[in-house]
């Protein structure tokens, strides 16, 4: 009798452990499926960002190549260059652009802009769906005059660089050749005065005050916005 009872108890315990084992196995399978699903979503989001990064790079190269093809013969005579990484078209001759301390555009610079800007817009037109903003950026040296403290000089130059970029934007906006692009220009162009925050330095680290005074047209594509939207959708 005792042996039968012991056998039944053993069978009950074995059945109990089998049930627990089955439950644990089932839970492990559930967790496995959840992990696989999360990994799949992570890989999909990674691929989306990778595809945008690839498209961004290809778009950057395409815009740069188009700008180079259009303006390569003009860069030397305008003393200008195009930065491939930032898509920044920079005019580097301050004496051509403005009189010292003034925001009025020189006649020579007006002629340059009349030639440059319509062609610039023509280059950008095929890419407008991928462009978030075009910034006209004004840069100055760090000096104002000998008697002006550095902090005060910075803010005086900030005001000057802002007035200059606004003057440039106003001028190119009102060109006859800009009439068809004015709606887009109002929505996507910005005039930004950066004062002396991005000076140009010589190899020895000293400021090159002449080169620091410049005006740039910088294209900012919208790939960073697309990546931000993808990241926000996964939160």
* Range list of H helices, 72-149: 75-78, 94-97, 107-124
pLDDT tens digits, one per residue of 78-103: 999 999 989 999 998 877 788 878 88
pLDDT, averaged across the chain: 82
Residue 173 belongs to a domain: yes
- Phi, psi for residue 59 in degrees, rounded to 5: -70, -40
pLDDT range class, residue 124, cuts 50, 70, 90: very high
What range defines the domain where residue 91 resides? Answer: 50-229
Residue 184 belongs to a domain: yes
Measured CA to CA, the distance from residue 212 to residue 52 in angstroms comes to 34
Return all residues near 177 (Cβ < 8 A) that are at least 6 apart: 114, 117, 118, 121
CATH code of the domain in which 211 resides:
3.30.1330.60
pLDDT tens digits, one per residue of 29-64: 777 777 777 777 666 666 565 665 556 677 888 999
pLDDT range class, residue 233, cuts 50, 70, 90: low
Residue 168 belongs to a domain: yes
Percent composition of the chain: helix, strand, coil (DSSP 3-state, to 5): 65, 15, 20
Q: How many domains does the chain have?
A: 1
Residue 38 belongs to a domain: no
pLDDT tens digits, one per residue of 136-152: 999 888 888 888 888 89
Residue 111 belongs to a domain: yes
Residue 190 belongs to a domain: yes
Residue 159 belongs to a domain: yes
pLDDT tens digits, one per residue of 74-83: 999 999 999 9
Which pLDDT score, from 0 to 100, does residue 207 have? 85
Q: Nearest 5°: CA angle at 17, between 12 and 20?
A: 130
């Amino acid at each position: 009798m005792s042996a039968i009872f012991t056998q039944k108890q053993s069978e009950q315990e074995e059945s109990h452990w089998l049930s627990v084992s089955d439950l644990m196995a089932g839970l492990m399978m559930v967790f496995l499926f959840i992990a696989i699903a999360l990994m799949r979503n992570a890989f999909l989001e990674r691929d989306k960002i990778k595809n945008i990064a690839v498209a961004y790079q290809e778009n950057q190269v395409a815009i740069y190549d188009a700008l180079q093809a259009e303006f390569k013969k003009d860069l030397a005579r305008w003393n200008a260059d195009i930065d491939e990484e930032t898509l920044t078209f920079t005019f580097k001759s301050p004496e051509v652009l403005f009189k010292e301390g003034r925001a009025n555009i020189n006649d020579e610079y007006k002629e340059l802009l009349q030639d440059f800007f319509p062609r610039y817009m023509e280059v950008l037109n095929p890419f407008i769906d991928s462009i978030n903003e075009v910034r006209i950026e004004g840069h100055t040296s760090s000096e104002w005059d000998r008697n002006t403290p550095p902090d005060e000089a910075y803010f005086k130059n900030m005001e000057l660089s802002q007035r200059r970029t606004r003057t440039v934007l106003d001028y190119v906006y009102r060109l006859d050749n800009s009439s068809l692009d004015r709606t887009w220009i109002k929505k996507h162009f910005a005039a930004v005065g950066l004062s002396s925050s991005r000076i140009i330095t010589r190899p020895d680290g000293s400021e090159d005050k002449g080169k620091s005074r410049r005006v740039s047209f910088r294209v900012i594509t919208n790939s960073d916005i697309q990546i931000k939207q993808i990241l926000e959708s996964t939160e």
